[in-house]
Structure 1
């Protein structure tokens, strides 16, 4: 979550408005001097912002990445008007950010602002949306940190001391009741409660693919999972719900948020609504409501399917898109040209 020590007298106020978006409230004075925000954490990474507003009211922003790894990210900056609506002053950049490589920032020139349209209580408000790529690289754990994970993983691979077997999608998996019960309250109830599985050595599971159950066990034993794409993460999130694994659910939802593209966003919108994934839903709506994205999505069959199958989601998408003055301008120009 973003955080800031700014107060009313500070040059900047940072406010998180969604899982992918922040609003920077930037003080107009003094003009023509470079200013810097406090360090803030957003999306699991540390950043800070520098800005300069020239005497001719040109707005320049620099976003610095300072975490000890690198991320590939797409960053949108949009100047808001005094009523909180999106203006035509918009800038997008996609790049790999790294504290150890230059440039780890980019000059985001938003153009000229007008005090009568953009200034409220001596400040301008800038909406910043950061989409983190799913292939973000992080520092490797040292050998000592990995030793326990390796030992627990060896326990999973060892069949000699396992005391329960699962048959899933035609494949057999060996596991340990105590480990499963420690990690999952559902497994605890099944394996040590009054359910029939408590007295069964081989449990047959329905409604789950073998590769998903294998990854579920990997998470239970090692707290790690692979990332095999949107559909895989969706199935794994469903398995996390089935066994009340909140940590796994969060990882899957984070990865789905990072894997939003024109090809995945519509199916992810329906999935998010079905499985009560509020952060994923918000991220998908932000992405889909971007003017250039929405114009491409409306010609797809999946868009029509969303209208029919998830009318409440479609209503939210329409509401968010209609709030964008930029989108309204594009539609107007398109009709005029037609």
Structure 2
């Protein structure tokens, strides 16, 4: 089994490591997690290649839930990727066995799909494996791809799409910027073509009849009713096409709400949809009233229906009614309350 690289995550931040093409239908990747007890956020490995396909490991520290994701786009009509995988904890990264796959179950992966273990082990069990020095541990993920693409052209490896990374490099380097976005007292340099391609609102402002600035002078676009930190995250999404990873001081649910509110008026539809989908995982007694009001205000029908589904459970509804958030929702959104009551009725 070939070695496909190592990812190092310290206090929740991916900062080191290397990846390589395994060059075969099977391979393993090492995820080194340092400072585990200091973070509760999602941990993600670097992307690595096994069997001609691009993979990524997701680790949720609470109970050590592990997922392996096929991180590439595939048509729904395309043949799924069949693969076996196995997670294990290792002590010495320099001494690895050739293979650790047991059993014969084959999982089917399609574009950006994942499989794994919701409860790989408990936190108490994990503590037994932590190294005292830095609360670190290492996860090994073995993958065997049953229908690899590498053997159709063994001497030619086509790298995965890297356009978002290439465009992001321009933003980080500040090269070729020709528009300035002003958010309060802060300014952000950007590229008008990128903004216009990702948002119809920016396209109208920069290239429409009411365009701001000229081609020879950098345009200045005023961003209203948005925090500078939120706009920076939006700008990062525009260039990378991926949601930002919350910092250690940020709450993921709050960040998703801010990004959804920001994406709606600027017609960044993919960002709005991704926030809407991810917010479904943050619905609980303390947040459902706020998320429901947000979904109604920004026309997120799928998110609203997920809130209704959560509230159809009598225990959940009883707990939510006792919260201040529900009282505020009752006073400020009477039409939404009527809609919610109708959603609670059993189907005719």
TM-score (norm 2): 0.51
Query: Is 1:166–1:174's contact at 8 Å kept on the other side of the alignment?
Result: yes
Query: Is 1:269–1:281's contact at 8 Å kept on the other side of the alignment?
Result: yes
Change (3 A) 1:227 1:152: same
Query: How many residue pairs end up in the alignment?
Result: 199
Deviations 1:6-51 (A, max 9, x none): xxxxxxxxxxxxxxxxxxxxxxxxxxxxxxxxxxx9xxx99xxxxx
Q: What SS class does the counterpart of residue 322 from structure 2 fall into? A: coil
**How far has the Cα of 1:66 moved from its partner?**
5.1
Matched, 1:157 2:147: no
Match of 2:266 in 1: 243
Match of 1:212 in 2: 230
Normalized per residue, which structure has more helix? 1
Match of 2:338 in 1: 315
**How far has the Cα of 1:182 moved from its partner?**
1.7
Q: What is the rounded CA distance, in whole Å, between the counterparts of 2:116 and 2:285 in structure 1? A: 21
Deviations 1:299-326 (A, max 9, x none): 11221221111123222333444539xx
TM-score (norm 1): 0.52
Q: What is the rounded CA distance, in whole Å, between the counterparts of 1:188 and 1:143 in structure 2? A: 33
Which one of the candidate residues 307, 332, 337 is aligned to 1:284?
A: 307
Change (3 A) 1:71 1:246: farther
Query: Is 2:213–2:220's contact at 8 Å kept on the other side of the alignment?
Result: no
Q: What is the rounded CA distance, in whole Å, between the counterparts of 2:298 and 2:245 in structure 1? A: 20
Query: Is 1:289–1:317's contact at 8 Å kept on the other side of the alignment?
Result: no
Deviations 1:77-107 (A, max 9, x none): xxxxxxxxxxxxxxxxxx459xxxxxxxxxx
Summarize the alignment of residues 101-250 of structure 1 with structure 2, pairs less than 5 Å apart.
144-145=159-160, 147-195=162-210, 197-199=212-214, 201-228=219-246, 229-250=252-273
Q: What is the rounded CA distance, in whole Å, between the counterparts of 1:264 and 1:231 in structure 2? A: 10
Structure 2 unaligned residues grouped into runs of 5+: 1-75, 82-105, 121-142, 144-156, 247-251
Structure 1 unaligned residues grouped into runs of 5+: 1-40, 47-63, 73-94, 98-138, 325-338
**How far has the Cα of 1:224 moved from its partner?**
0.8
Change (3 A) 1:189 1:196: closer
Deviations 1:200-224 (A, max 9, x none): 6333322111122112211221111
Query: Is 2:260–2:276's contact at 8 Å kept on the other side of the alignment?
Result: yes
> After the TM superposition, which parts of structure 1 deviate over 6 Å for at least 4 consecutive aligned residues?
none
Q: What is the rounded CA distance, in whole Å, between the counterparts of 2:281 and 2:158 in structure 1? A: 28
Q: What is the rounded CA distance, in whole Å, between the counterparts of 1:160 and 1:321 in structure 2? A: 54
